[in-house]
Amino acid sequence: MKCNISQDVTAAAELLHNGELVAFATETVYGLGANALNPEAVARIFEVKQRPHFDPLIVHIATPEQLSEFTTGLSAPAQRLAERFWPGPLTLVLPKRNVIPDLVTSGLDSVAIRIPAHPIAWELLQVTGLPIAAPSANKFGCLSPTLAQHVVEQLGDEIPMILEGGPCQVGVESTVIQCTEESTILLRPGGIALEEIESCVETVRLARIEDFAETKSQVSPGMLPRHYAPGTRLFLIEKLEQLPTAESIGVLSLYPLEETILSGREFAAQEILSPSGNLKTAAAKLFSALRNLDQASVECIVALRMPETGLGRTINNRLERAAY
Ligand code: TXA
Ligand code: MG
């Protein structure tokens, strides 16, 4: 299949209405979209991604007015989060209505919903008038795409079109939150920092594996120990003294490494995420930097842990999964 890369929203909308898949830019990562109300189109997402069926998808919508079609309602804290962070990199897990096919939610009685902020994603949602189910547009377990070219490399032969929207500004996936009247659970750290969520709702609990035992469902790949991984072995270290011995190393760090530490060591490749220590900039560069190191033919990649604050927490979460 020849994959068409363009900004033609009308063409993309037509493909979606015909039950085809379209990859599209969002502010977080590129998504692999299908009409969420068409189970056959949704099934194709799982097939193309080689994604296990126990892993539910996010449904993207254009406006809060559409919420009542797909969910039975928002708790008061969920409402506050929606007002504050939508459109944007927030996904809310809400009680679902029956129109959403079971395939989308892996049989759960909840549905994950997001209103994206990227203008081209938003326009696509407007023009189709459809809810669009979309996971990240990569093969299951691999690095997420933050450029159209990344999508071409992994899925280019299998989908008809990529709706191009430039490099993703946030660069890491959305923050996934399950929020009832009683509790707010962070299922996946993402593009909105925990501190920002905490400024809006009272106590936020971090998800634990036990939370999912009774649903028998793996509700967040963020919870899978290995995910978001490059092909090259990756080590996550706290400080440079812990560097493994290897012939050739690719290093990923927030700041440039000090000369004293560099002296006497050969680094075959190096990616610096933000010399000024800006964690938003770092998140935006993360997946491209990991791809570059993966393609640098090094024996291993060594990532230095980021500060455990703001989006540093999200980056560390992705690096932990990549290192497992
Ligand atoms: O930024 C993003 O969220 C991107 C863009 C394309 O929107 N999408 C994305 O989708 O990262 P995906 O499929 O890679 O991750 C979806 C996450 C998973 O952790 C999944 O388990 C969780 O959302 N999820 C989906 N439905 C859920 C549900 N009903 N209950 C709990 N978690 C759910
Ligand atoms: Mg993903």
Tell how far the Cα of 87 is from the centroid of ligand 2, in angstroms. Answer: 19
* pLDDT, position 211: 62
Give the pocket of ligand 1 (CB within 6 Å).
26, 28-29, 31, 55-58, 89, 91, 93, 105, 108, 110-112, 114, 134-136, 173-174, 176, 187-188, 219-222
Mean pLDDT of 309-313: 97
User: What pLDDT band is residue 234 in, cutting at 50, 70 and 90?
Assistant: very high
Q: Pairing state of beta strands 22-24 and 58-60?
A: unpaired
Residue 208 scores a pLDDT above 90 = no
Determine whether 306 is exposed, middle or buried from the number of CB atoms within 10 Å of its CB (0-12, 13-18, 19+). Answer: buried
Tokens of 237: 């270290």
Mean pLDDT of 200-225: 66
| Residue after which a domain boundary falls, among 223, 251, 276 | 223
The CATH number of residue 34's host domain is 3.90.870.10
Say whether both 23 and 114 belong to one domain.
yes
| Residue after which a domain boundary falls, among 223, 247, 271 | 223
- Name the one residue in this structure whose structure tokens are 């793996």: 218
User: What pLDDT band is residue 263 in, cutting at 50, 70 and 90?
Assistant: low
User: pLDDT, tens digit, for every residue of 93-131?
Assistant: 999 999 999 999 999 999 999 999 999 999 999 999 999
* pLDDT, position 229: 87
Q: What percent of the chain has pLDDT over 90?
A: 80
Mutate to test the pocket of ligand 1, among 26, 28, 125, 173 (most ligand atoms within 8 A of CB): 173
Residue 259 scores a pLDDT above 70 = no
DSSP code of residue 2: P
d(CA 61, CA 288) in angstroms, rounded, equals 27
pLDDT higher at 28 or 240: 28
Residue 260 scores a pLDDT above 60 = no
| Residue after which a domain boundary falls, among 189, 223, 257 | 223
Mean pLDDT of 319-323: 94
The CATH number of residue 300's host domain is 3.40.50.11030
Tell how far the Cα of 163 is from the centroid of ligand 1, in angstroms. Answer: 20
* pLDDT, position 239: 87
Number of structural domains found in the chain: 2
User: pLDDT, tens digit, for every residue of 42-89?
Assistant: 999 999 999 998 899 999 999 999 999 999 999 999 999 999 999 999
Domain that holds residue 287: 234-323
Mean pLDDT of 226-243: 88
d(CA 284, CA 271) in angstroms, rounded, equals 13
* pLDDT, position 218: 47
User: pLDDT, tens digit, for every residue of 141-154?
Assistant: 999 999 999 999 99
Determine whether 234 is exposed, middle or buried from the number of CB atoms within 10 Å of its CB (0-12, 13-18, 19+). Answer: buried
* pLDDT, position 150: 97
Determine the atom of ligand 1 nearest the C-alpha atom of 137: 6
d(CA 47, CA 4) in angstroms, rounded, equals 20
d(CA 319, CA 286) in angstroms, rounded, equals 9
Residue numbers in the known binding site for L-threonine are 28, 60, 114, 134, 174
Complex confidence, ipTM: 0.99
Say whether both 26 and 133 belong to one domain.
yes
Say whether both 285 and 207 belong to one domain.
no
* pLDDT, position 261: 59
d(CA 310, CA 266) in angstroms, rounded, equals 32
Within a domain: 17: yes
Residue 225 scores a pLDDT above 80 = no
Say whether both 170 and 119 belong to one domain.
yes
Say whether both 123 and 268 belong to one domain.
no
Residue numbers in the known binding site are 28, 51, 60, 114, 134, 136, 144, 174, 188, 228
Say whether both 204 and 173 belong to one domain.
yes
Return the ligand number nearest the Cα of 140. Answer: 2
* pLDDT, position 216: 44
Tell how far the Cα of 323 is from the centroid of ligand 1, in angstroms. Answer: 21
Mean pLDDT of 190-211: 88
Return the ligand number nearest the Cα of 228. Answer: 2
- Count of residues for the chain? 324
Say whether both 144 and 61 belong to one domain.
yes
Mutate to test the pocket of ligand 1, among 45, 124, 176, 186 (most ligand atoms within 8 A of CB): 176
